[in-house]
Amino acid sequence: QSVLTQPASVSAAPGQKVTISCSGSSSNIGNNYVAWYQQLPGTAPKLLIYDNNRRPSGIPDRFSGSKSGTSATLGVTGLQTGDEADYYCGTWDSSLSAYVFGPGTKVTVL
Amino acid sequence: QVQLQESGAGLVKPSETLSLICDVSGYHISSGSYWTWIRQPPGKGLEFIGNIFQSGYSHYNPSLKSRVTMSVDTSKNQLSLELRSVTAADTAVYFCARTGHGSGWFFDYWGQGTLVTVSS
């Protein structure tokens, strides 16, 4: 049972936008930076967003991150079939003294 | 380009010790990064196992702390993970990853992962 909450799945048509929420508490998201990872089927996770809203080199600006209070959001615009994957949020939890991941959200392109 | 590659026994018997190696290339592990182990049970989410600095300073997930040992070998540019007294619940894909340099914690380079099955 994760201390972070994400919707199990979201879906949208190609070209549309999806948003994925990640809800936590003051011991994790509320006082720490959030990262987002994309995991394509059968592959290792890939960093999409770090420090709440920063993109690593090579990540297109279709992916964006934001944080407000104890929640964070990943946005994906111009949805493509190649975006079908599981998306995980992650952050440090000061109470658990461990890095925690959300349960993951499966994105389906209709 | 930083690359990581996990290796080790793919099948471990219950109560025995899981041992994995992570070979790092394209970046020297003594260059000032933390290195992390993460696992993912089949069909499930990601779990932080712990991380280690070049000096050998380590921090383990409290849920696994009593059974985990991590180490670094700077001469071989390798990390290692040992997990003792394994059970079927430890069956997972094990990833090594580099902790990125930023304001918060995040993992910017990952190995492809290696599946370890605990079974007699």
Token pair listed for B82 = 């040992």
Three-state SS for A85? strand
Residue bearing tokens 């099948």:
B11
Find the CB nearest B62 among A88, A90, A97.
Answer: A97
- Tens digit of pLDDT at every position of chain B (120 positions): 999 999 999 999 999 999 999 999 999 998 888 999 999 999 999 999 999 998 889 999 999 999 999 999 999 999 999 999 999 999 999 999 999 888 899 999 999 999 999 999
Question: Is the minimum CB–CB distance between B36 and chain A shorter than 8 Å?
Answer: yes
Find the CB nearest A50 among B47, B51, B102.
Answer: B102
Ranges of chain A whose pLDDT falls below 70: none
Secondary structure of chain B in HEC code, one letter for each residue = CCEEEEEECCEECCCCCEEEEEEEECCCCCCCCEEEEEEECCCCCCEEEEEEECCCCEEECCCCHHHEEEEEECCCCEEEEEECCCCHHHCEEEEEEEECCCCCCCEEEECCCEEEEECC
Size of interface A-B (CB pairs under 8 A): 74
Provide the H-helix boundaries in A8-105: none
Interval A5-32: pLDDT, tens = 999 999 999 999 999 999 999 999 999 9
* pLDDT for B18: 98
d(CA B106, CA B120): 36
d(CA B18, CA A3): 27
Find the CB nearest B104 among A91, A96, A104.
Answer: A91
Token pair listed for B112 = 């492809």
Contact of B16 with B26, CB cutoff 8 Å: no
d(CA B21, CA B37): 10
CA angle A66, A72, A76 (to 5 degrees): 60
Give how far the C-alpha of residue B113 lies from the chain's centroid of Cα atoms, to the nearest Å. Answer: 9
Chain-chain contact of A50 with B104 (C-beta, under 8 angstroms)? yes
d(CA B120, CA B98): 33
Residues across chain A: 110
- Interface probe for B, chosen from A40, A47, A93, A99 (most Cβ of B below 10 Å), is A99
- Interface probe for A, chosen from B105, B108, B109, B112 (most Cβ of A below 10 Å), is B105
Task: Write out the residues of chain A at the interface with chain B, using a CB-CB cutoff of 8 A.
Answer: 2, 32-35, 37, 43-47, 50-52, 54, 56, 88, 90-92, 96-104
How many CA atoms within 13 Å lie on the side-chain side of B99?
25
* pLDDT for B54: 85
Contact of A22 with A37, CB cutoff 8 Å: no
